[in-house]
Amino acid sequence: MRPLLLRAARAGLPLLRGAPASPGKARPSHSEPRGRDGRGEEEEEEEEEMEGWHQLYPGHIPTSPLQKALLAAGSAVMALYDPYRHDMVAVLGETTGCLALPNLRDKMKNHPEGHRILQERPRIRLSTLDVARLRALPGGSLGREYLRFLEDNKVSPDTRMPPKFVDDEELAYVIQRYREVHDLMHTLLGMPTNMLGEVVVKWFEAVQTGLPMCVLGAAFGPVRLSTRKLQVLATELVPWAIRSGLNASCVLNVYYEQRWEQPVESLREELGIFPPPALRV
Amino acid sequence: MAAARLCRCRCRALLSRPAGAVRARRGLAAGPEMHFGFQTVTEEERREKIYQVFENVAKKYDVMNDSMTLGIHRVWKDILVHKMNPCPGTLLLDVAGGTGDIAFRFINYVRSVRQRQLQRKLKHHQNLSWQQIFESYQKDEFNSLGDSQVVVCDINREMLKVGKQKAEHLGYSEGLSWVLGNAEELPFDDDKFDVYTIAFGIRNVTRIDLALQEAYRVLKPGGRFLCLEFSHVSNPLLSRLYDLYSFQVIPVLGEVIAGDWRSYQYLVESIRQFPPQVVNNYGTYFSGGAEGNDRRCRLFQSGL
């Protein structure tokens, strides 16, 4: 028995089959974890290089179902205990997204713009954004408002965590896209990055994506809010977010990078997001 | 669960030791390829990777130790110091001592031994005047460790930093020094220390033979070498449970508590990769000199 297989067997990890990650390349629609069957010579040599694990993309850590369950539980507890542990929220999303992510990916595949995004794999990063050009755009346009949002809230798209525990290279991109598009959600919904704003966006995303992490965040996020804010949340913001989420088409099917000039209002209409309530959040 | 093996070698070298003629036989690859957990890397890469692992885990090292061993590591370290049984005046070198666990225990032990010594001394001096008792107390108070000293040596700056902060926090100041150094090339003179300890550190050393040579060099004749390390579990059922816990749970704990999966994956794998015959060969190393009978070595092993 090859030593590589023996080590993985002792560790109790599933052996995953997949070509090394090559961004921008379309991949077959799904890859399942396979058993310990015979492996090709070149594949094993590649894996020897990549730490001897079956890494499907850079940063990938293969995990067994038991490990995923433990991670999900542990990250949920830690995220509640220490809300500043954004990495725990990310891990929770990855470990619980096994049903929702393929769903999202299929929605993207069946939409022409979404399909293009899956093919081209654009990434939203400060290095790829032409900040000067965005700043020059007229007020009210997506690009200008997005930049304003980043500056007002002092956030950057580069701080999104790369996926680690998703066992499919394409789904890893889908969740990465979801994370990078999160700030654009804030812009489209007109919500700041305080606790209240985040909860509203989570409600919207929960309805849109069905990711358990969003559902949990939406349900437990309000725990830390004051009564007054809870009232506003319950009476105005959440119903609006849910209605918009149900009415809107899939937000991941929008190639935002090609729509910086489009006015936010027009994009909202196109997607089906209702105008935000006139409140100071 | 895990068996920790303690081995103790008593060296009574009176004549000059042979210049590097003795080598420990070990199961590791002699060539440039070495193991880093379950990966295969070169020596230099291994040193770098291990440095990075401990740089990353330094701040959460103690928390993780407690989670990984469910607090049992404290018992093992206590037993190590008890077996050492240092008397006041001992000079200890704690290699890979990082966060100072062994050093603090040593200081506590020596302090309490010293207390007892002082109490016994006072009991014998029943006919002293109050003035004389007061003066003797004052004098001895400033020497609560009885000239014992511990030098904590670690290759990793972050671990030493955490150790120093802990010492400050717990109130340890005298008898303690912190030195940045490599176990394979210690920055100390020959024949300096009474005891050399290395607790859960030797499996992270890239050239164990060099570390042993250095230990031999810096120890005084009659000095003692104590090594605390994980060994393999022989019972098959326990072994399976232990494997399950190590590989399934510990990296998860690393990710959740410290945000670092890979370092804990390495730590768990390195325990598996550490060959048991290295421990058995310590005896061979210390006793295999050309001068023969002047060097005797006894190896003690205790499984827990």
Which tens digit of pLDDT belongs to each residue from A81-139?
Answer: 887 788 898 999 999 998 899 999 999 999 999 999 999 999 888 888 888 888 899 98
A48–chain B Cβ distance below 8 A for any pair: yes
On the CB side of A13, how many CA atoms lie within 13 Å of its CA? 23
The residue of chain B nearest to residue A4, with distances taken between CA atoms, is: B38
Average pLDDT, chain A: 79
Q: How far is A73 from chain B (nearest CA, A)?
A: 10
Answer left, alpha or beta for residue B209, where phi above 0 means left and psi between -120 and 50 means alpha: alpha
Verify whether the Cβ–Cβ distance A52 to B39 is below 8 Å: yes
| pLDDT band per the 50, 70, 90 thresholds, residue A40 | very low
| pLDDT band per the 50, 70, 90 thresholds, residue B154 | very high
Q: How far is A75 from chain B (nearest CA, A)?
A: 6
> How long, in residues, is chain B?
304
Between the CA of residue A228 and those of A225, A231, A235, A270, B7, what are the distances in Å? 8, 5, 11, 33, 65
Neighbouring residues of A117: CB distance < 8 A, sequence distance ≥ 6: A108, A177, A252, A253, A255
The residue of chain A nearest to residue B248, with distances taken between CA atoms, is: A67
- Which is more confidently placed, A25 or B130? B130
Q: Which residue has the tokens 């930049």?
A: A147
A86–chain B Cβ distance below 8 A for any pair: no
Percentage with pLDDT > 90 across chain B = 31
For B102-141, give the secondary structure using H, E and C.
HHHHHHHHHHHHHHHHHHHHHHHCCCCCHHHHHHHHHHHH
Verify whether the Cβ–Cβ distance B248 to A64 is below 8 Å: yes
Tell which residue, A262, A279, A245, A276, has the closest CA to residue A113.
A262
Q: How far is B251 from chain A (nearest CA, A)?
A: 9
B242–chain A Cβ distance below 8 A for any pair: no
Residue B131 corresponds to which tokens in the numbers above?
């003035």
Verify whether the Cβ–Cβ distance B247 to A71 is below 8 Å: no
CA–CA separation, A183 and A187 (whole Å): 6
Report whether B242 contacts B1 (CB < 8 A).
Answer: yes
| pLDDT band per the 50, 70, 90 thresholds, residue A263 | very high
Answer left, alpha or beta for residue B130, where phi above 0 means left and psi between -120 and 50 means alpha: alpha
Report the pLDDT averaged over residues A73-79.
Answer: 91
Verify whether the Cβ–Cβ distance A10 to B272 is below 8 Å: yes
- Per the DSSP assignment, residues forming a β-bridge with B5 are B229
- Per the DSSP assignment, residues forming a β-bridge with B230 are B4
Residue A183 corresponds to which tokens in the numbers above?
């700030």
Instruction: Find chain B residues with C-beta within 8 A of A72's C-beta.
Output: none
| pLDDT band per the 50, 70, 90 thresholds, residue B104 | very high
pLDDT of residue A193: 86
ipTM for the assembly: 0.71
Q: How far is B216 from chain A (nearest CA, A)?
A: 35
B247–chain A Cβ distance below 8 A for any pair: yes
